[in-house]
Amino acid sequence: MTVATEQFASANKAGVEMLLGIANTQFAAFERLSALNFNATKAAFEAGIGQTKALLGAKDIQDLVNLNASAAQPNLETAIAYSRSVYELATQTQAEMTKLIESQAAEFNKNMVAFLDRVSKAAPPGSDVIVAAVKSGIAAANSAYDNIAKISKQATEMAEANFAAATSAAKEARKKAA
């Protein structure tokens, strides 16, 4: 029974450590997102002040039209850069969370197999079939998780490629319109 108590305590400790890791990762992501939003807001405010001053200094209608047209391109590029930064932040946070969860799952699986090995040594004859079935189930779950992780990675790569293509298309469309 001591082995089970130690396993339980170890599993609880690992679970708490994982939750703390997730909380720290999420807090760091929130901190980076807050800084990004603050900087974007500050830059937009400063650009707005500069545009307002330029509009107030316009001599005629043609100057106003030219100022408005010239302000559109930097605003589009700023919006694209902001979107890219938010996307990169989300992708980075997802990667950190995946790494944390994968390491925790690998540790759990290793501990579970070790526990099953100890239990099977002390188990009555004939129970080795049940232990083998549980080990097989763990192996199948690991295989399924690996497949899901591969699919998720492919989907992320595809989304990144689509985002890059959309960004490029938006820039090209803006250049043609200008």
pLDDT, tens only, 115-161: 777 777 777 777 777 777 777 887 787 777 777 777 877 777 787 77
pLDDT at 39: 95
The pLDDT of residue 149 is 74
- Whether residue 11 is predicted with pLDDT greater than 80 in this model: the reply is no
Confidence band for 7, pLDDT divided at 50, 70 and 90: low
What pLDDT does residue 28 have? 94
Instruction: Grade residue 1 by pLDDT with cuts at 50, 70 and 90.
Output: very low
- Taking only the tens place, the pLDDT of each residue in 55-92 is 888 888 888 888 877 777 788 788 888 988 998 898 89
Output the six-digit token pair for 138.
């763990």
* Gap between the Cα atoms of 116 and 133, Å rounded: 11
User: Is the Cα torsion angle 94, 97, 103, 107 positive or negative in sign?
Assistant: negative
Amino acid, res. 35: A
pLDDT over threshold 60, residue 178: no
Residue 81 CA, distance from chain mean position = 18
This prediction's pTM = 0.65
Contact between residue 94 and residue 34 where contact means Cβ atoms under 8 Å apart: no
Q: Alpha-carbon distance 69 to 142, whole Å?
A: 56
Contact (Cβ atoms closer than 8 angstroms) between residue 136 and residue 53: no
Q: How many residues does the chain have?
A: 178
39-43: average pLDDT: 94
Separation between Cα atoms, residue 87 and residue 92, nearest integer Å: 9
Q: For residues 97-110, give the mean pLDDT.
A: 80
If DSSP codes are grouped into helix, strand and coil, which group holds residue 124?
Answer: coil
When the pLDDT of each residue in the chain is averaged and rounded to a whole number, the result is 80
Report pLDDT for 45. 94
pLDDT at 177: 63
At 53, list the tokens. 């001053």
**Residue 127 φ/ψ, nearest 5 degrees:** -85, -5
Whole-number pLDDT of residue 146: 76
